Structure 1
């Protein structure tokens, strides 16, 4: 008789998983601080920088699908170690790229692939396999909150590094920090993947994908996550330049991004806890609608450091709080055997939105001299995402019974 492999300690799982996400997400959340230093030093347009970050998000989304497949098949440990190495290499390349093409390859492709192997899809797969369903949404909320704390911790740190060491040296120092994810990955080394044979699964990859993509609720979750990517990456990358264009100091932007990260610690944790008690689709609909309202008020109100800090605090509560209920819903509907892969496909939709948000921000700014059109698009998409999440069915999908194996 085949027995299930032992599970990882919950404390070990949360500490190591949270630390990895803190580093990976914390580093990427500060990339907007490099937009003006790099474009001014290289005499590049904002669209050049925005396009590289857009490619980063798209690469992250595409690679996330395959990183999820590999992690589901061979475990997360090897995927995270490789991702940490690519992250460090990409950051060093970002610091020394002399042409837009090299900048896009390092900042866009390398770092994007690295993020695929060191963030939510892979780590959440480990959580899904090792945490019982009654605590899964909570555990995912803890990990997402760690990513937010990484933003709160790392963004001011990155601003400090830029101001004291210069933007190139700051990127190289972050490359060394990224390598710390490799030893942390040892804590996510699952016993069931230690041998040559992975844990048994009822479905093949093709069967799991066919089932998911035919299921309307999966399609609706992907549509909502597209909007999440558009909004957060546009704001995260372009808001520092938007504020400087309006005459505010660079410190205001650093504090604003840090406040987003700080308040999202509470927002993501609350979303994870509430996901155990109320329908997750209602949580998601509320988050997207509240984002649309918050952005609208921010644009209408007179701009000042105080209004920026209030906006950042409220957006922080809503920032990554979509992650726990979205991934927990996928696990609840389809089970955990292919969770990293299916989470990777949902996240790919998020990254298509991220690509459009960050690229359109740079493109339309260069064409019109303003970010106004992209802000309006973000508001409209927020309303749409609130509506498409309401019909989601969260119950476990009904599968035909499989015949029991014959006995001698």
Structure 2
């Protein structure tokens, strides 16, 4: 059937989007397992590793805006394939980098570009354009749950590969696995993107950007997402080392990250489903405040494998559950014509937070020998994000009709 006559089915969208996010996010969530092997072998500080991962998140955030523009204009297929190639090259380069600069270029810039083209903003654009509003938040929850399943599946796998192959060969094996995303992208080609022709839009890219950036609720969504990035990336990257510093085995760290991924499968699905029925801003405020409480309790109780697993399970329910709600809110307010771009822009706020979370974790650890200050910052930011989400207005933005031509 020619592309112009083909219609993407809901199952096709969900299966392929979920599989792509599973691979892309699954690989990313395990990077914390490489912190100690790489820094010990290369005789680097934790700040060196943390800076590369921070740069990765910042690159992802900046490039995500432009990847979203390209996906909105030309379709997701080309963007995902390009991102897949960058992912494989970045992982191989990360394995064989011999200098801090080379490691920052590969683990930071190349993989950041790859993630911009293979994760939520891109697949959510496809979902937003092809899934009716009555099912949109739920469908985005399914895709986010897939990213969590990827964490549950890939983190233990990556730990196994490091143990059996060594950290360098494990990265090469992951590069081969990342190439699976390219054939999956073939099934996300949209019929409305023939020859570069996109959907009809009542706004240009610049008009859509000016509208969003000047809208208070969009600014608050970005601010909340900043906190999300700070918390989850700090925990995801530094948690294995934090636990090892306190005498727990590497297996506890692997199981911890896997539990976060497993329980977030349920958390993101529940969040996406509730987002169809309840105000998304209230659910977001609850998630951020609860994160602050959970981190506080984790720091107060004696550290043990049991406390780590309980923390991971509860935090997992809250981990990426902000993702479908935030993107569905953007679609609800501004429509879907520029959804990948606006999703990429609001995600930029997330990635600025990610940069600071992972980088400050390394810097403050090297300066103080402890992660305590960063944990306290994560708690305070959780409370702040909860308060920032409450004033958000989710209703569709009113636009004056364009004047008719004479």
- Tell me the TM-score normalised to structure 1 length: 0.98
**Aligned equivalent of 1:301:** 301
**Aligned equivalent of 2:151:** 151
Structure 1 residue 199, shift from structure 2 partner = 2.0
SS at match of 1:381: helix
Q: Distance in 1 between matches of 2:380 and 2:206?
A: 35
Q: Distance in 1 between matches of 2:403 and 2:15?
A: 41
Structure 1 residue 342, shift from structure 2 partner = 0.5
SS at match of 1:303: coil
Mapped pair 1:275 → 2:275:
yes
**Aligned equivalent of 2:240:** 240
SS at match of 2:195: coil
Q: Distance in 1 between matches of 2:342 and 2:86?
A: 23
SS at match of 1:403: coil
Structure 1 residue 7, shift from structure 2 partner = 4.1
**Aligned equivalent of 1:107:** 107
**Aligned equivalent of 1:21:** 21
**Aligned equivalent of 2:198:** 198
Count of matched residue pairs:
403
Q: Distance in 2 between matches of 1:5 and 1:266?
A: 36
**Aligned equivalent of 2:37:** 37
- Tell me the TM-score normalised to structure 2 length: 0.98
**Aligned equivalent of 2:252:** 252
**Aligned equivalent of 1:217:** 217
Whether the 8 Å contact between 2:73 and 2:196 is mirrored in structure 1 is no
Whether the 8 Å contact between 1:6 and 1:192 is mirrored in structure 2 is no
In structure 2, stretches of 5+ residues that fail to align are none
Whether the 8 Å contact between 2:152 and 2:259 is mirrored in structure 1 is yes
**Aligned equivalent of 2:390:** 390
Structure 1 residue 402, shift from structure 2 partner = 2.0
Q: Distance in 1 between matches of 2:8 and 2:335?
A: 18
Measured against aligned partners, the alpha-carbon deviations of 1:1-58 in whole angstroms (never above 9, x if no partner) come to: xxx9864100000000000000000000000000000000000000000000000000
CA RMSD, aligned part only?
A: 1.0
User: Which aligned pairs between 1:106-125 and structure 2 lie closer than 5 A?
Assistant: 106-125=106-125
Q: Give the ranges of 4+ consecutive aligned residues of structure 1 lying more than 3 Å apart after TM superposition.
A: 4-7, 403-406
Whether the 8 Å contact between 2:260 and 2:312 is mirrored in structure 1 is yes
**Aligned equivalent of 1:167:** 167
In structure 1, stretches of 5+ residues that fail to align are none
Change (3 A) 1:197 1:5: farther
Structure 1 residue 359, shift from structure 2 partner = 0.2
Q: Distance in 2 between matches of 1:146 and 1:284?
A: 20
